[in-house]
Amino acid sequence: MNVEENTIKRLLKDAELDLMEDKLDDAVEKVRKAIDLAKAKGNENLLTQIMEFVQQFSYSPKKQSLQLIPIETEGYILDIGGGGEGIIGKLNGNQVVAIDKSEKELLETENKALKIVMDATKLIFLPKSFSVCTAFFSLMYIPLHDHLKIFEEVYRVLESNGKFLIWDVNIPRKFADYKAFLIQLNVELPTEDVEAGYGVLWQMQSIDYFKDLAQKSNFNIVNEWMKGDILYLELRKIG
Ligand SMILES: C[S@@+](CC[C@H](N)C(=O)[O-])C[C@H]1O[C@@H](n2cnc3c(N)ncnc32)[C@H](O)[C@@H]1O
């Protein structure tokens, strides 16, 4: 067994111990490290072993695909939770201000967005600073009790007539013994395809849940769709 295989096996063993102690965030972090290592080595066999481990504790609907085109706007775009794959930054480049609570996530993100460590529940921007705000598979990572505050903050920093665009996933009521929910996506951008996996501790959410938050925070719902488990909402700030 080479060094990478040893490290991956150790990471999975430690993740299993974390799970036994219900330390789910720690377990997910270790699995992500193992995946990155196996991907860097291009080792498909190790990746399969990791996925088999993940499937024991997480539920994943079948892989889905999503096609995106650049957002048409003259102003700045605020991307909430813009770390990770940084899809919106890849789409609209230096027009994007990506904020994320995690410096580590932002450091790992490769795109031309301006990246700032910031908590979405306490945006430090002046009112009416952005023409568009986005949340691309970010709200699923944020505890439900913070969502309304984030909708209110986004409303505050949007210009009149500004848009809040949300891409996220329907997470059903928890079943079996699964602890985590994982959505695997193929994101088709004009310049590249990105394979993304977004995994979180299980928290139920649906398009109706987000529509309710939109109404509570004074947004108008101007467009919505569901494709498979993926949900999309286009909200507008009137006034
Ligand atoms: C994995 S990313 C989502 C995907 C990302 N938008 C992309 O394009 O790949 C979710 C991010 O939300 C961030 N996050 C969680 N809670 C947050 C909060 N309160 N404020 C800002 N970012 C937060 C996490 O650190 C994480 O990097």
Q: Containing domain of residue 35, as a range?
A: 3-58
Residue that has been written with the tokens 């108008």 in this structure: 220
In this structure, are 8 and 108 located in the same domain? no
Q: What is the DSSP track for 106-139?
A: HHT--SSSEEEE--TTS--SPTT-EEEEEEES-G
In this structure, are 93 and 151 located in the same domain? yes
pTM for the model: 0.89
Under 8 Å between Cβ of 177 and 59: no
Whether the pLDDT of residue 24 is over 80: the answer is no
In this structure, are 73 and 143 located in the same domain? yes
Determine if ligand 1 sits within 6 Å of the CB of residue 82: yes
Whether the pLDDT of residue 204 is over 70: the answer is yes
In this structure, are 30 and 7 located in the same domain? yes
Whether the pLDDT of residue 196 is over 70: the answer is yes
In this structure, are 167 and 211 located in the same domain? yes
Tokens of 59: 């539920």
Ligand 1 centroid, distance to 95 Cα (angstroms): 19
Choose one of 18, 42, 58: the last residue of a domain.
58
In this structure, are 52 and 137 located in the same domain? no
In this structure, are 49 and 147 located in the same domain? no
Residue 116 to residue 102: CA distance in whole angstroms? 9
- Looking at the CA of residue 84, tell me the nearest atom of ligand 1: 9
Q: Which residue has the higher pLDDT, 7 or 4?
A: 7
In this structure, are 53 and 68 located in the same domain? no
Ligand 1 centroid, distance to 42 Cα (angstroms): 26
In this structure, are 153 and 226 located in the same domain? yes
Q: What does the pLDDT read at residue 73?
A: 97
Ligand 1 centroid, distance to 2 Cα (angstroms): 33
Q: What does the pLDDT read at residue 51?
A: 86
Tell the residue nearest (CA) to atom 11 of ligand 1. Answer: 81
Mean of per-residue pLDDT scores for the chain:
94
| pLDDT tens, residue by residue, 218-236 | 999 999 999 999 999 999 9
Mean pLDDT, range 110-117, rounded to an integer: 98
Q: Strand 77-80 to strand 96-100: parallel, antiparallel, or no bridges (unpaired)? A: parallel
Determine if ligand 1 sits within 6 Å of the CB of residue 153: no
Total domain count for the chain?
Answer: 2
Residue 126 to residue 228: CA distance in whole angstroms? 37
Ligand 1 centroid, distance to 170 Cα (angstroms): 17
Ligand 1 centroid, distance to 80 Cα (angstroms): 7
In this structure, are 10 and 81 located in the same domain? no
Determine if ligand 1 sits within 6 Å of the CB of residue 92: no
Choose one of 41, 58, 75: the last residue of a domain.
58
58 — pLDDT class (breaks 50, 70, 90): confident
Mean pLDDT, range 85-93, rounded to an integer: 98
In this structure, are 108 and 190 located in the same domain? yes
In this structure, are 86 and 201 located in the same domain? yes
- The continuous run of DSSP H or E covering 47 comes out as helix 44-57
Q: Specify the CATH number for the domain of residue 96.
A: 3.40.50.150
- Looking at the CA of residue 85, tell me the nearest atom of ligand 1: 9
Q: What does the pLDDT read at residue 1?
A: 62
